[in-house]
Structure 1
Amino acid sequence: MRRIAVVGAGGAGKTVLANQLGARLGIPVTHLDALRYDTGWNLIAEDEFAARQRAAVAADRWITDGNSLATLPIRAAAAAAVIVVDPPPLVCLWGILQRRWRYRGGQHADGVFDRITWFFLRYVILYRRRHLPRTLACIAQHGPHATVVHLTSRRQAENFVAQLSGQEDGR
């Protein structure tokens, strides 16, 4: 795998997984939050966001981390693999709380911008029911050539990373 798109709900563990894969495989990671916002963490125009993604996926080797459904066709069409990180909503909410506690909000060193709103929390809670089916349909339409890996727990994600390196995680 040389071109990997990691998608999923907020707090699902996309960034952690993308960073682990990047380190394990020696592939640069692009966080969509870093492309989505300007240097003051203001949203940029959608066409500029799409252009930044096109530039990122034009490389031979890349991992993207983020879940913009509007621009997922760009990533899915270029990806060799799409990893769907899909733990239960309560696990995602716990991940959001842990991230908030660890970083105290704002910009994180790993490229994520932590902005918790009621809209965001509702999105996370309803992700599996409302957004995941559209995400999977988009991947099927724009990335039929891509291998899709659907991880429904943190343990599956850990095992997936361990298998890539040919190591067992001992659990």
Structure 2
Amino acid sequence: MDRIAIMGCGGSGKTVVGRRLAELINAPLTHLDGVYYDADWNPLPQEKFAALQEELVARPRWVIDGNYASTLPIRLKRADTVVFLDIPPIICLLGILQRRWRYRGGQHTSQGVFDRITWGFIRYILGYRRQMRPKVRALIAEHAGHARVVTLTSRRAARRFVAAVPPQT
């Protein structure tokens, strides 16, 4: 594993899994929320966001966590490993509440955590499996046929997967 794309619903554990995998394979970690938004929650223009991802995936080794379905093909085409955290919505909601409690709200760019809980975000989490999961699976099937695809459906499965990854130097 040299180029790992991680995706999943908000609160699914992308940041935690990404941080640990980056440590294990000794690769740089990028949180796409930290690339897409500035400190005032202003998004990058789509073209610039896509161009920055093209630069990131051109590197020989990387771990990138985030969704952004419109630019997902950029990451999937270059990834040798795709980790899809297909975690139940209630667990994702608990994850964002735990994150809120842990960081006391606000943005934490050093951790890749952007604690912005809105009703729209909660609706997104509740509808993720019905609305986004089919799109993500279709994009994976279309653009990552060459890659190892790992779908993890629980936090326990995610911990086991990460624990089985041998450290690289």
Normalising by structure 2, we get a TM-score of: 0.94
Residues 1:28 and 2:18 are matched in the alignment: no
Distance 2:36 2:119 in 1: 20
Distance 2:136 2:80 in 1: 16
Secondary structure of 2:146's counterpart equals coil
Partner of 2:89: 89
Deviations 1:42-91 (CA, angstroms, capped at 9, x unpaired): 21111111111111111000000001111101001110011001111000
Output aligned runs, 1:7-18, within 5 Å: 7-18=7-18
- Where does structure 2 lack aligned partners over 5 or more consecutive residues? none
- RMSD (Å) for aligned C-alpha atoms: 1.2
Distance 1:112 1:99 in 2: 8
Partner of 2:122: 121
Deviations 1:4-52 (CA, angstroms, capped at 9, x unpaired): 0000000000000000101111111100011101344321111111111
Is contact 2:28-2:63 (8 Å) kept?
yes
Amino-acid identity (%): 54
Partner of 1:2: 2
Partner of 1:163: 164
Distance 2:163 2:157 in 1: 10
Residues 1:78 and 2:70 are matched in the alignment: no
Distance 2:140 2:105 in 1: 31
Secondary structure of 2:101's counterpart equals helix
Secondary structure of 2:63's counterpart equals strand
Distance 2:52 2:115 in 1: 21
Higher deviation after alignment, 32-41 or 150-159: 32-41
Query: What displacement does 1:130 show?
Result: 1.1
Higher deviation after alignment, 137-146 or 33-42: 33-42
Normalising by structure 1, we get a TM-score of: 0.93
Structure 1 residue identity aligned to 2:61: R
Partner of 1:69: 69
Q: How many residues align?
A: 166
- Where does structure 1 lack aligned partners over 5 or more consecutive residues? 167-171
Query: What displacement does 1:96 show?
Result: 0.3
Structure 1 residue identity aligned to 2:50: A
Distance 1:121 1:19 in 2: 24
Deviations 1:94-149 (CA, angstroms, capped at 9, x unpaired): 00000011112221131222211111111111111111111010011111111110
- Give every structure 1 segment of 4 or more consecutive aligned residues whose post-TM-superposition deviation is greater than 2 Å: 38-41
